[in-house]
Amino acid sequence: EIVMTQSPATLSVSPGESAILSCRASQSVYSNLAWYQQKPGQTPRLLIYGASTRATGIPARFIGGGSGTEFTLTISSLQSEDFAVYYCQQYNKWLRGSFGQGTKVEIK
Amino acid sequence: QVQLVQSGAEVKKPGASAKVSCKASGGTFTNHVFSWVRQAPGQGLEWMGGIIPVFGTADYAQRFQGRVTITTDESTSTAYLQLNSLSSEDTAMYYCARTQETYQEIGGLPLMDVWGQGTTVTVSS
């Protein structure tokens, strides 16, 4: 099974600054990588798929990058509503997926 | 607009089984990839398994093999997750999710565009 590793576990950022989240796969997943946002008490929401394509309605400040085994999610000019936990997920095989352990973006 | 509506909260004794349902409405059912994900209190997301209703055969995460069964009922557009031999470590929120595209368009890959509201399963003696 493909193991996904996210770093850092927690990121402290001031509003208006940028945040860069990392995700590493134990083997290549090509561009079959998604990012989800989850706020306390809420269901996860798809942000990015195909490593860099924003889902419908997702603001342009969310930028996904990378391919193969190394991926990043950049959130530029953080807004108050962006403080949340972010998960990466690989979906490289028929029916099979796995998540990273999450990165919490908190207010500095 | 596709919606996934899950069954209500469950409380189970250790050793029992739990069966959670996920009813899809507002779109087609048989040709999409359905996934089940769980989240223990204060923990991250954990992929459990997936199924494409038109094929009916599910795939599971290794750690749940032999203890979990994912099925679908096309007549009611409902997906099911059954987890057996419950222990306190299975106390979690269980989510179903579905691809927006058909399995043909997405190659059977379990992207999770649409999510159910979650079902809490509590295991306690």
> Of B68, B76, B87, B54, whose CA–CA distance to B20 is shortest?
B68
Among the partner-chain residues B61, B95, B107, the one whose CB lies closest to the CB of A43 is B95
Task: Please judge whether B107 and A95 are an interchain contact, meaning their C-beta atoms are less than 8 angstroms apart.
Answer: no
> Across the interface, which of B44, B59, B117 has its CB nearest the CB of A99?
B44
- Which position has the token pair 């909260």? B9
Nearest to B110 by CA among A95, A33, A100, A53: A95
> pLDDT tens digit string along A58-105?
999 999 999 999 999 999 999 999 999 999 999 999 999 999 999 999
Per DSSP, the three-state class of A73 is: strand
Q: Which residue has the tokens 């096309």?
A: B74
pLDDT recorded at residue B71? 98
Residue of chain A with shortest Cα separation from B33: A95
Residue A87 near residue A42, CB atoms below 8 Å: no
pLDDT of residue B1: 86
**Contact of B32 with B99, CB cutoff 8 Å:** yes
The residue whose two tokens read 């403080």 is A83
pLDDT digits (tens, 9 = 90+) for B58-94: 999 999 999 999 999 999 999 999 999 999 999 999 9
Q: What is the nearest CA distance from A91 to chain B, expressed in angstroms?
A: 5
